[in-house]
Structure 1
């Protein structure tokens, strides 16, 4: 199955309402359009278990796959992550989650 696309909410000086969160999909994972000025908000809805979000880096160096960036989200906490330079992360950011208790939102800055 294809990755679940996240919708990017564009931030503005006028303000925007918080978007609906997307439930993490640990089977199909996620993708989001990346222009290098995008942030993720990842919330862990678990009351007791930390969970991990993984940000994939496209391409290889000397034939070796690049090590993805991982961020642990403590139980009942949130993390803003980004921005993601397109030279490193590409124009489509691939986001993997280890559990559906991770809730995702994407913001353009």
Structure 2
């Protein structure tokens, strides 16, 4: 996948609630949860998606907040794969946790 021009990346990120471009190479999204265990369960869902897509985010866990950072190393910046990953993570955030819905 080819690196996206900055304006195209900005346009794509604008359609992803909770995500922002950090610089030309990175985008970041944040998710808040009612409990620590719900945050950890979400990280498990992120891990499953990342494995399926073979595209892995940097994950930060701060009690009830999860921060994800994305880039595509071999492209030297943001690609459509990062946008697809962010969309999937947003969908996983909206979906009820397994056993809760």
Q: TM-score range by the shorter chain?
A: 0.3 to 0.5
Tell me which of the two structures has the higher relative contact order, counting C-alpha pairs closer than 8 angstroms and 6 or more residues apart.
Answer: 1
Q: Which is richer in strand?
A: 1
Q: Which is richer in helix?
A: 2
Normalising to structure 1: TM-score of the pair?
0.36
